[in-house]
Amino acid sequence: MSRLKLGVIGMSEGNGHPYSWSAIFNGYDPQFMKDCPFPVIPAYLSKQQFPEDSLGHLAEVTHVWCPDKATATHIAAASRISYVVDGLQEMVGKVDAVLLARDDAATHYEYALPFLKAGIPVFIDKPLAIKIREAERIWAAQQRPNQVFSCSSLRYAKELLLTENEKESIGEIKMVEGSVMKKWETYAIHILEPLLSQLPKRGKLIDVKSINVSAKQVLVQWENVTGYFKTTGNIPSPLEIKFFGEKGNITKTFSDSFNAFKNSLAAFIEVIQQPEKNIAKEETLELVTILEKGLA
């Protein structure tokens, strides 16, 4: 199969994914990337070998749009994107798929709609939505099943995944915890999704309770597992998830943004080619339910 052509949509406050995701496919120009407003991005990109570590063999980001054209122009220069467009509709018919690289969920339906109506696959940045009705509205706009792909890239962070030996050592999981900085509505998904994806025996979701103190804390009860999750705002906190089993416990700490993003983008390309590989809608719906109830 020939390389896919991708469009990228950005940016939202505090989210540099249009720069990093595009660079993972296209490589980058250090002269312009050094002025990326998120210094961590050029820092981790500089540790990679391009094109060897890129996904350029799978696809190229060819078009970019942002509400602010100057921002789009800088992303294009930094991440070697050929075309800056004035409107979303200009991408339709020019790209094979779209990266909606904004984490402000309230805009997802509006920005995804032109592409969903045209039958174009869309990777919608985490979280897909923070209300069930919004998630359902996005799915209802699909022209075919599995047209929408959405996740936290940390679902694919290898350092957060339990090995078979670790699963054996801690035994059946009974409790999980997760903590992350920033806001619940944009960052809680980073701790919820890598945990949820590793709890196939959790059973049905029973209850979600929000505790409103200085840090947002949420208690989640499944049939077989209890979860405790917190977002700490501006208070420094490592992104950690913890598993407590019948025989022991283990803490996993996130450390590798580049490979988490790269793995999730590769998963999106695989879903385009093999739609049955998509994340189960029921699982995403469960995550949105926890996010929504956690905001209460």
pTM, entire model: 0.95
Considering the four listed CATH numbers 1.10.287.610, 2.60.40.10, 3.30.360.10, 3.30.300.30, the one that applies to the domain covering 158-255 is: 3.30.360.10
Q: Rounded to whole angstroms, how far apart are CA atoms 227 and 278? A: 25
Confidence of residue 83 (pLDDT cuts 50, 70, 90): very high
Q: Is 93 in contact with 78 (CB distance < 8 Å)?
A: no
Mean pLDDT value across the chain: 96
What mean pLDDT comes out for the span 204-217?
89
pLDDT tens-digit readout, 150-167: 999 999 999 999 999 999
Superfamily designation of domain 4-154+259-279: NAD(P)-binding Rossmann-like Domain (3.40.50.720)
Query: What tokens were used for 2?
Result: 């020939």
Q: Is 215 in contact with 235 (CB distance < 8 Å)?
A: yes
pLDDT tens-digit readout, 249-283: 999 999 999 999 999 999 999 999 999 999 999 99
Q: Is 108 in contact with 124 (CB distance < 8 Å)?
A: yes
What mean pLDDT comes out for the span 37-54?
97
Per-residue H/E/C for the chain: CCCEEEEEECCECCECHHHHHHHHHHCCCHHHHCCCCCCHHHHHHCCCCCCCCCCCCCEEEEEEECCCHHHHHHHHHHCCCCEECCCHHHHCCCCCEEEECCCCHHHHHHHHHHHHHCCCCEEEECCCCCCHHHHHHHHHCCCCCCCEEEECHHHHCHHHCCCHHHHHHHCCEEEEEEEECECHHHHCHHHHHHHHCCCCCCCCEEEEEEEECCCEEEEEEECCCEEEEEECECCCCCCEEEEEECCCEEEEECCCHHHHHHHHHHHHHHHHHCHHHCCCHHHHHHHHHHHHHHCC
Task: Write phi, then psi, for 66 (nearest 5 degrees).
Answer: -135, 155
Confidence of residue 1 (pLDDT cuts 50, 70, 90): low
Q: Where are the domains of the chain?
A: 4-154+259-279, 158-255
What mean pLDDT comes out for the span 192-200?
97
pLDDT of residue 113 exceeding 80, the answer is: yes
